[in-house]
Amino acid sequence: MTMKQQEMIINKIKDTLVRAGSTFREDQKEIYRQAIKKETLPRAKWALETILEDAEVAEKNRSPLCDDTGIPHVFLEVGPNKSVTGADLEAIRMGVAEGLRELPGRPMGIKGDDKQRLDQSGGLDEDSAGVLPAPILIKQVEEDVLRAHVLMLGGGPAIRGITHRVFHKHSVSVVTDEIVKRASEAVALLGCSPCALSVGIGRSQFEATALMIEAMVYSDFTVQSDLEKEITDKVNESNVGPLGLKGATSVLATFMKVGPQRASGIRVVCLRPSCCFEPRMASVEL
């Protein structure tokens, strides 16, 4: 890799991370406009309007949507004639670090050895780039492209997220009812609703979580399958509302990815009640 190629990747990833942390996508803005129109409770409408106003200011200033700027997650799509080298991955890592400094990300990386990182006794890294990215996910795609998606995953949804098996009893509704039950409890406790429910269903905890990330990557608030819409509608019956203030809009959409399954009595479900700014995501071709 030449210096110029490395610099190109670093700059593209840096810019993509800043966009992910500061910008609502068009479908995200549209779903908020629709929710504001439908919401009848004045305080719920006010909360939605304030969140959308925040997104406008953040986009204009290229500044964080939320002070919990999140943990960077990178998802790579690799086409048939493309390759990813160790040098590419290093350039991506450097781009993430530069992006965190520019956003700026909240400096919340914990220093120290295993024990110090567990009990937080090692102190905080003052550098925003001390927040290291999660392991990169790579997906083989048919399109001949090398594309990076940068997601910024906040702490609130991580507290309320659940990855656990469901005994499906050979019934789709048993699985979806359990997702609705878990999501309703999680959304009520989150505080930063309305949510986008991100769901992955796989054969192991790893696969389910990877599928949950993939569901966010390919998400579109204005396109919902029957199952996704059913889950959204049922969780909205909980009447948690924006910021827990009651109202019709507890969940804006559901993004679900069902992976390959095996002959077994269980499905492993990863559920993340993504907060009112998520999925904070932007994409770039490298």
Footprint of another protein (CB under 8 A): 22, 42-43, 46-47, 50-51, 53-55, 57-58, 61, 63-69, 103-108, 124, 126, 128, 156, 191-192, 243-246, 275-277
Q: Are 131 and 108 in contact (CB under 8 A)?
A: yes
Judged by beta carbon, residue 193 or residue 254, the one nearer another protein is 193
Choose between 54 and 207: whose C-beta lies nearer to another protein.
54
Which of residues 62 and 82 has its CB atom nearest to another protein in the complex? Answer: 62
Distance CA 81, CA 14 (A): 25
Q: What angle do CA 26, 30, 31 make, to 5 degrees?
A: 120
Q: Considering beta carbons, is residue 128 or 224 the nearer one to another protein? A: 128
Q: Rounded to 10 degrees, what is the CA torsion of 183, 186, 189, 195?
A: -60
Unique residue bearing structure tokens 């997220």? 161
Query: At CA 65, angle to CA 138 and CA 195, rounded to 5?
Result: 70
Shortest gap between Cβ of 74 and another protein (angstroms)? 20
User: Taking a C-beta distance cutoff of 8 angstroms, is the pair 123, 111 a contact?
Assistant: yes
Whole-number minimum distance, CB 204 to another protein, in Å? 31
Q: In the complex, what is the shortest distance from the CB of residue 173 to another protein, in angstroms, rounded to a whole number?
A: 31
CA distance 247 to 249: 6
Of 55 and 199, which CB lies nearer to another protein in the complex structure? 55
Shortest Cβ distance from residue 47 to another protein (Å)? 6
